[in-house]
Amino acid sequence: MLSPGSKSPDFNVQACVSIEKGKEFKKVSNKDYAGKWIVFYTYPKDFTFVCPTEIVEFDKKLKDFGDRGAVLLGGSMDNEFSHLAWRNDHADLKKLNHPLLHVTPAMADAFGLMQPQEQVALRATFIIDPNGVVRYASANDLSVGRNVDEVVRVLDGLQTDELCPCNWKKGEETLTAKIKKAG
């Protein structure tokens, strides 16, 4: 899996962006968001149990991400047609306001997302800065959902460009390094 400090790979993939007839799909590229923060999360599969809880929670925080100048992109290795079928089938997913990408095998490989036993995308989250550098990378076991509030908190911390202590929250003091003089 890509680690912080790595250059984010380029991608240009199909995404399910709506359930409205004729407006369901769109190509999505990282270049569409040049100069912006990107919060990119992946989940193992459509038509599962933990995944929709995360997708809905990420979507609930869409305004929080937008207020921070960040775009939200989600996805799995299922294709855009599977994403659409799932959105149409699952009441909680019908009103999503962010794209669900078809994470192609090439994209999964470039990000290091393949879970080796199940051959699905990891339950992973990346925060990519406006220069295309991965600043945060995290992955959970397939059976455990992530904490979206923590993703927002980390984005806040990264955007301070300062040292943030454990459990730091936006508005709290950051740390300053004090250099002790010898002698």
Distance CA 6, CA 65 (A): 22
Q: Tell me the sheet residues that pair with 25.
A: 16
Tell me how crowded residue 14 is: count the other CB atoms within 10 A of its CB.
18
Strands 70-76 and 100-102: parallel
Catalytic residues: 51
Residues 6+ apart with CB under 8 A from 32: none
Token pair of 8, please? 């984010």
Q: Comparing C-alpha atoms, which of 87, 74, 5 is closest to residue 40?
A: 74
